[in-house]
Structures are given as C-alpha cells and as structure tokens.
Chains A and B, each alone.
Chain A
Amino acid sequence: MALKLKPLQFLARSSYRQRRLRDVAGMLPIIGILLLQVPLLWPRAEGQSLTTSAMIYVFGVWILLIALALYLSKAIRNDAPELGEGQEDVD
C-alpha cells in the first residue's frame, strides 16, 4: 500500500473556484424554484390585479436565471478526463 495517495485537502485557487462554481450550478434550479413561487405569496387587496406585475416578475426571474446559466456554462471548464471514459465510444 505504499502508493496509496492521501486525498487532497486543499486545492489551488483556480480549482477551488471551479468547485464553487459547480456548487452554484447545482444550486441554480433550487434558487429558480424558490424565486418562481414568490408571486403566490404576494398579498392581494380586494379587486387589485396582480397579473401584469406577476408577468413582469416571472419573466424577469427567468431572464436572470438564463443569464446566470450562460455565465456558468462559460466559466465552468470541461473536465476532460471525466468525459474521456467509456473507451468504446471514443474512436
């Protein structure tokens, strides 16, 4: 067992950043779910219409989520070794 490696405890700055970006990517749908339920909680006075404001809010959140996903997809590096598996597929 001489060759057994100790798992790394601390990473270099850039790899550390990559891991946190991945955490953000994982959290994104949860943030989305929460934000999109908010209009259901809005107080509503008698006869007041919330339709236009809800519409603007939902589309606003939507665009925000898309922008975040776009940023993440550019910022997260593709981990080549992990993708290179399954030898028979890589011809």
Chain B
Amino acid sequence: MLTYNVLIAVALLYVVFLFGIAFFAEKRARAGRSGWVSSPWIYTLSLSIYCTAWTFYGAVGYAARSGLEYLTVYLGPTIVMLGWWWIVRKLVRIGRSQRITSIADLISSRFGKSTSLGVIVTLIAVVAATPYLALQLQSVTLSFAVFAEAGGTHWTQADLSRAALWVAIGLVVFTIVFGTRNLDANERHHGVVIAIAVEAVVKLCALIAVGVFVVWGVAGGLGETLQMIDASAISKWEQPAGRWVGLTFLAGAAFLCLPRMFQVLVVENVNENHLSTASWAFPLYVMLMSLFVVPIAVVGLNLMPSGSNPDLFVLTLPLAEGWNVLAIFSFLGGFSSATSMVIVATIALATMVSNHIVVPLWLSSRGAGAVVAGDIRLVVLLSRRISIAAVVLGGYIYFRLSGGGAALAAIGLISFVGVVQVLPSLVGGLYWRGATRWGAIAGLVVGFSVWAWCLFLPSFGQGAIIPVSVFENGPYGINWLRPEALFGIEKIDPLLHALLWSMLLNAVAFFVGSVVTFPAPIERLQGAQFVNVFEHSTGARAWTQSAAEAEDLLIMSQRILGPTEAQQIFAREAARQGKAGYLPDVTPDFIQTLERNLAGSVGAATAHAMIGQFTQGSSISVEDLIAVADEAVQIMEYSNRLEAKSAEQERTARQLRDANEKLTALSIQKDAFLSQISHELRTPMTSIRSFSEILRDGDADPATVERYSGIIHDEALRLTRLLDDLLDLSVLENGQVTLNIQEGSLKTLLDRAISATEASGRRLSIRRIVANENHLLNTDLDRLTQVFINLISNAEKYCDAEAPELKITLRRIGGRHVVDFIDNGSGIGKASQRVIFEKFSRLSDHRKAGGAGLGLAICREIMARLGGEIVYLPGQGGAAFRVTLP
C-alpha cells in the first residue's frame, strides 16, 4: 500500500521544482533573454488557469450527476476565444495602451478614472472569489485525505483544517515571492507565468493519463466504453435547454470577467499576436481536458462502491485498481490546478485591493501633502503583500466556517454569476460611448444585490442566513421579493433564475443610469479612447496647460517608480524636447505619458489623483474637448507632415532659447571675468604688499612679525592655488593634457578622495551605498580622484544642513556606471543649476570657502577629457551631482 509519506515527499519535491523553475525564468527575464518565456504557447498555457481544481475533480462529479451539462463550462470560453476578433482583441489593445492593471482598473479607468467604481468592482470580485478559493483549498485537502485513507488512517475535520492551513501558507509564500517582485503590473510576472504554464501541462497530462487508463485499461477499449456509457445512468440524461444555453453564456462571460482570467488574458499579455495562436490552441486545450470526463465518470459509477464521492473518481479509480504511480500523477494534476488558480487569483485580487482600497485610503489619511511626503513604493508593495495574505486567509476562513461540505461544491457556478455582474459595464464601456459612471455604478450595485439576494445568501441553505419564512412568503410578506421567485415567477432553476434577473436588471439599470446622467469631461474623453481604441491609440490629451513644476513631478515619480526609472522617463522626454538634463518642459503630452506610467504601478484612479494635485484646475473642460475634436477633424487629413515639421522647429527653437539664455548668462560672466580675475589676484596682492611694507619698516615686535609673515605666506599660497587652477583649466580646455591611463578599483579611488578631504577636520558624515565597490576602472585615476575630491569638499563647504551628510551611490543606468553624490543641504536653485559648471560661478559669496569658483569647471573639463560626464541631478532633496564613469 502506498504510504502517505511518499505522497507528501512527492508534493514537496514538486513544489520545490516549481519554485526553481519560477526563479530560473525570473533570472532569464532579468538578463533580458525572455525569448521562450514570452512565446504564444506559454501564453496559451497560462490561460488554462481557467481549469481549476473544480474542473479537474469536479467535472467528473458533475458529469456523474448531470450528464453532458459539464461541457458548457468549457464551451463558453471556447466560443469567446474563437471570437477573439470581437472582444478579447479590443480588451488587450486597451489594456496595453492604457496600462490597465486589473479588471477593476479597467472599469474605473473607462468611467473617468473613478475611485468609487474601482472599489465596487473590487468588492464584488473579492466576495465572489473567496468561496472559490476555499473550494480550491478543500479539493487539495480532500485529495490528501484520500491518500491518507488508502494508507489506513481516517482523517478528521481537524486534520483537514491543518492540511488546508499549510497549503494556504505555502501559496502565500510563493505568491509573495514571485508575485510582488516588481511593482509595475505591466512588467509581467515571468516566474509566475512560467510556473502556471508548467502546471497546465501537468494537469492536462494527468487527466489524459487517467482517461487513457480508464478507457483502454479498465473498460477495455473505445467501443466497450461507449457501450458502458449507453448502459449507465448518464444515458438517461435529458438536457434542459435553458440551462445548456444559460451556462454556456455564463461560462463565456465569466471567462472575460474573472479577475484571474483578466490577469493572464490582458495584463500578462506580452504581444497581441499571441491571441491568434491562443484562439485555436486554448479551445484545443479545454477540449482535451473534457474529453475523458464522461468515461471516467461512467467507469467510476460502475466500479466504485455506491455512495463514494464522484468528485474524487480521478484519484480513487487508479488507487482502487492498484495503479499508485498514476494516482500520484493525478494528485499532482489536481494540486497544480488548485495552486495555479489560487496564485493568479490572489495576485489579481491583491492588486485590486491594494490599488483601489488600501492605497487611496492611505493617501487620504495622509492629507494633501502625502504625494511628496513618503516612499509610496514601499507602501504599495507592503499593501500588496498584506492583501495577498489577507485574500488567501479569507479563503481559508471561509473553508473553516463552511465546514468544507457539499455546500462548497455548488459554489463554482454561484461565484461565476457574481463576477459576471461586471459584464454589462465592461461590454457597454467598450462599445458604447454613451455609457456613464453613474450608469455603471447603478448596474453593478443592482446586479450584485440581486445576485446576493437570489443566489449567494440562499446558497448557505434555507434558514441559514435568510429565514425559511422569507423563502415562502417574501421579506415582510412582500410576495414578489421571494429570493427564488422574483416578481412571482416560479419554478425556474434557481441558478438560471438568479442569472436571468441579475443580468437583466443590471443591464437595464446600466442603460437607464447612463442615459439620464451627463458624463464629466474626463469620462467622455476616456470613453472615446476606449471605444475608438483602434482608430487612435495615443488619443487626445487629458491635460491642458499646467502649472506643475517638472522638479516636483520628478520628486513624486521617483517615490512611485523608483529613482532610476523615473529619471529615465524624464531624461528621455527632455531629450525628445531637445533639452539636456533631467527636467523637460511640462507639456500636456508629457503629463499624459507620466500618468500612464504611474497608472501601471498604482492604477489609473490613484495616478490621476496624484497628478491632479500638481496640476490643480488645469484638467480638461467640455470646451477643451470640443475644441480638440473640431481641430482634429479639420487637421487630421493633412497635418501629419506639418506637425512633424513644427515639432522639429519647436525643438530647434527650444535649443536656441536655451543656448541664448546660457550665452546671456555667460556674457555677463565673461564681462565679470576680467574684473573677477583682477579682483581675485588683487586682494591677496594688496595684503601681501601692505603687510610686507610694515615688515620692511621694521618696527614691529617678533609676535607681530610672525603673524604678518604668516598672512603673507597664506595669501601667496592662495595666489599660487588660483594660478594653478587657471593653468590647469586652460591646459584642459586646450586639450593639451596628457592622460595617464591606469587600472584601479572604484573603492580605492573613493578611499583616496575621502582621506584627502579629511585633513581639514570633518564636519560632514559620508554614507557610501556602493553595491560593487570593486568595480574596475581603466582611466586616468588621478584626474578622476581630483573630481571626487572636489565634489566631496564642495559638499563639506556648502552643505548647510545642521548635520551635513553626503550620500555616495553607485548604480548602473543604460549600460554605464554612474556615481551620485547627494548631500542633504538646501540644494541649488533652478536658475543657478545651469551656470554652476561655468568659470568663477560661485553662488554665495562665501569668502571662507576659499575657492575661486573654478572647481566644478575643472571637473567638467576633466570628465569630458576622460570620456565621462558630470551633471547636476535635480530633485534629490539636496545638492546632487551625477558622475558618469568613463
């Protein structure tokens, strides 16, 4: 007899294998070689999370109870995928162009980035999905129990709960490790996708293996199996037409609306062309999944003792026949179905809960200044992790409370009816520009209430939540509100009854609500972009002229996207506008791009609200919309070339303007240069002359002589230094310098620079966050050290914080290494940022600083000679310089 321990060992090994392959895929993706991870086959296989444990085990039980009706659950999605040209293609296109993170985000984004809609859809999804998660936990624990039984021990309820708890913990760990690696939901979870693809193969192979075993191993061939079916109870199957049509519709609609399906279908989609492969490969997959269900059910009914649970035939049949290895394989199939579903569903729900409930709450609790006050990235990640744990915990609690009985088995379809309440708003939003936010809210609330009243609450049993008297006479004796006979129409199948009424009332409320209300401008804009996504993906702008400062926006984006990515976006835009550095002009287009990038991390509603804080009052109005539309119609036909040209001109003009401003500033400086240099030379000269005159007259006491000659010496030194600097600069500028190329590590360079600046007594504390200090450089080390010394001593001199601190970080950006020197002082004003690298540009008149304002000019020349760069990095909370290493 198979020992239970072997099963545990196999399951654990399998889990380790999944972790390994997910880790491997993440690593490959990070190295930029995601080739086969993002193939259409992996995409198709990841769609198979539609087939949960409920379909793996439950389909056989379903077939044993109601004949071929189980097929509807697969036929619905088949039809949706065959018709991908209609809906799915549009969904994916919108998902990509609007950077949609979840189904709640899609609905919220379509109806004017509304926070309340996001919350409603999230709540519906969570309520509908929790029982479903419980069902998965139940199926895994029941399959454990089957093996324990076979090994001779009978499992009690406590054993089941304990197993469920361990499974839940394992799932939480996996999901947190691979599901919250990166914040941007658009950056796709390669590890998770590859793991569920592997699980998809395992579950398909397992079910087919059991099927082949049953047909050819037990029944004795195809013909015999068909005869057996004809002889069995299933042959008496008489399909009610209403259920057949209704369930096919329900399954198809759920395929589009389930949060987990939306996650794999839209969010994790890498390439729209994959849909064309999935359009036939996914139907093939579910066809194969359902091929052997009836034979297994019939043979099970024949062979197994009466009263055994048909839901577990897939396991118990091989076990009863003594095929232990097959049984274990089949167990792995069921295990895969359950875990892959839970993982993806949890990621999808956690994203929704975190983006639409936790983060908005956190932001509003922090008041208006929250956007610039804290590190939002950590908050979002943390809230996602907590949400993941909470969602799985919710499933576990439901499992405990419901007692894991037969009540759970029926929950699959009930939960489907709950999630498809999103369908009217979804389809209406995609194809009808007149749909409004209030319409969507009305439809969702009505549909959800009908579902809860007619199907969800009654599913706990008559008298459990709703008293029996209400079923018979209606609430407060209102007869037409009876949960299973709304409006007095009786004798419909309860599931169909709820589906029919909820969909009907939902759609009516949606339509009426949309027609009688007037949409806000942003809704109309989003509506046009969604409905006409194939005509203009880039779309009209949602912002007009704004008062936002680029630097403020940069500070905020850094807190959400992380410094590297935010700086890249800003630098790219600045380069597009023909400007150097990190601060582009804040154009409406730029704000739009930025908002979409933020939406990929925190959802459309939150991103819009955050940007809104900076651009108060400059969002679009109806007049703007009309103006944009008029313009568009007139210009569209022949303006493309003109537009390109004018963009070009604008770029040139901007460059010219920049250059002009710089020249003006410079020419003022050049004028000042002569007076400056004579001043710089004269001041020490004057004191040298006057003190040496006193000494020449010779009537001073020895102490005074010593003091005066000290002064003379100091001033002479200052002169020498100034002349040295001038000489150095002119050599560098004329390109006569010879470089002394050596190899050395960054660490030694920094050590040298820091110890060289220590001589003057340290006031400044230095924090080095250099990940790879041993990074080897091949350049003129002395010159580079000179740059470092200059930057450190500048911070020493000019940083005006109470406890001055300098942060030195090394990172890799775009294939090059950069070293950032960031202090915590008050930084450099925007106007001064462009001149600090010029000669004699000393910002304050710190005499004590003792320099002539040549240091940074020399640094810039050195870096140019070495093939690197030094720039000022705005928006870091202090003065910050970025040295790009050669």
Binding site for B on A (CB under 8 A): 1, 3-5, 22, 25-26, 28-30, 32-33, 36-37, 39-40, 44, 49-52, 54-55, 58-59, 62-63, 65-67, 69-70, 72-73, 76, 78, 82-83, 85-89
Contact = CB atoms under 8 A, between A and B. Distances in A.
Contacts of A55: 68, 229, 294
A59 B291 contact: yes
A62 B272 contact: no
A39 B68 CA distance: 11
A51 B78 contact: no
Contact of B272 (A52, A73, A83): A83
Interface in B235-255: 235-239, 241, 244-245, 248
Contact of B534 (A1, A54, A76, A82): A82
Most chain B beta-carbon contacts within 10 A, residue among A36, A69, A76: A69
A49 B234 CA distance: 9
A67 to B, nearest CB: 8
Most chain B beta-carbon contacts within 10 A, residue among A65, A67, A72: A65
Interface of B: 67-68, 71, 75, 78-83, 85-86, 96-97, 226, 229-230, 234-239, 241, 244-245, 248, 272-273, 276-277, 279-280, 283-284, 287, 291, 294, 534, 537-538, 593, 596-597, 637-638
Nearest to A71: B280
Given A86-B538, A87-B538, A40 B79 contact: no
Contact of A51 (B229, B273, B287): B229
Given A51-B229, A69-B279, A86-B538, A36 B75 contact: yes
B85 A26 contact: yes
A85 B82 contact: no
20 contacts: A1-B638, A26-B83, A26-B85, A29-B80, A29-B83, A30-B83, A32-B79, A40-B241, A44-B238, A51-B235, A55-B68, A55-B229, A62-B78, A66-B283, A70-B280, A73-B276, A73-B280, A76-B276, A83-B273, A85-B537
Contacts of A37: 241, 244-245
Contacts of B234: 51
A51 B230 contact: yes
A73 B534 contact: no
B65 to A, nearest CB: 14
Contact of B283 (A4, A52, A65, A72): A65
B868 to A, nearest CB: 26
A4 B96 contact: no
Nearest to B276: A73
B97 A86 contact: yes
B280 A69 contact: yes
B287 A62 contact: yes
A22 B283 CA distance: 19
Contacts of A29: 79-80, 82-83, 86
Nearest to B80: A29
9 pairs of A and B residues whose beta carbons are closest in the complex? A29-B83, A69-B280, A49-B235, A85-B537, A73-B276, A70-B280, A3-B638, A86-B537, A86-B97
Contact of B96 (A39, A44, A66, A89): A89
Given A58-B68, A59-B287, A85-B537, A51 B237 contact: yes
Nearest to B291: A59
Contacts of A65: 78, 82, 283
Nearest to B592: A88
Given A36-B248, A86-B538, A49 B276 contact: no
A63 B273 CA distance: 22
A20 B78 CA distance: 22
A22 B284 CA distance: 21
Nearest to B240: A40
B97 A52 contact: no
Given A59-B287, A69-B82, A89-B97, A3 B280 contact: no
Nearest to B298: A51
B637 A78 contact: no
A22 B237 contact: no
A49 B233 CA distance: 10
Contacts of A58: 68, 71, 75
B230 A28 contact: no
Given A37-B245, A69-B279, A78-B273, 6 more contacts: A5-B637, A32-B82, A37-B241, A52-B226, A59-B287, A62-B75
A51 B294 CA distance: 10
A52 B226 CA distance: 7
Nearest to B280: A69
Given A66-B284, A85-B538, A49 B68 contact: no
Nearest to A84: B537
A25 B84 CA distance: 9
B779 to A, nearest CB: 31
A6 B323 CA distance: 71
B279 A3 contact: no
Contacts of A54: 68, 239
Contacts of A82: 534
Contact of B277 (A3, A50, A73): A73
Nearest to B242: A40
Most chain A beta-carbon contacts within 10 A, residue among B235, B238, B273, B276: B276
B244 A69 contact: no
Contacts of B597: 88
B85 A88 contact: no
A77 to B, nearest CB: 10
A67 B279 CA distance: 11
A70 B282 CA distance: 11
Nearest to A30: B83
Contacts of B279: 69, 72-73
A38 to B, nearest CB: 11
Contacts of B284: 66
Contact of A85 (B97, B239, B291, B596): B97
A73 B276 CA distance: 5
A86 B96 contact: yes
Contacts of A4: 637-638
Contact of A88 (B237, B244, B596): B596
A33 B808 CA distance: 65
Nearest to A24: B85
Given A29-B86, A88-B593, A52 B276 contact: no
A49 B79 CA distance: 27
A51 B297 CA distance: 13
B637 A40 contact: no
A3 B283 contact: no
A47 to B, nearest CB: 9
A17 B597 CA distance: 40
A39 B593 CA distance: 53
Contact of A40 (B239, B276, B287): B239
A22 B534 CA distance: 16
Nearest to A61: B75
B411 to A, nearest CB: 26
A44 B68 CA distance: 16
Contacts of A32: 78-79, 82
Nearest to A23: B85
A50 B276 CA distance: 35
Most chain B beta-carbon contacts within 10 A, residue among A4, A29, A82: A29
B499 to A, nearest CB: 17
A51 B276 CA distance: 33
A26 B229 CA distance: 36
Contacts of B283: 62, 65-66, 69
A28 B86 CA distance: 11
B577 to A, nearest CB: 15
A49 B85 contact: no
Nearest to A87: B538
Nearest to B71: A58
A87 B534 CA distance: 14
B377 to A, nearest CB: 21
Given A3-B637, A4-B638, A83-B272, A25 B85 contact: yes
A66 B226 CA distance: 24
Contact of A66 (B68, B280, B534, B637): B280
Given A29-B83, A37-B245, A69-B280, A52 B230 contact: yes
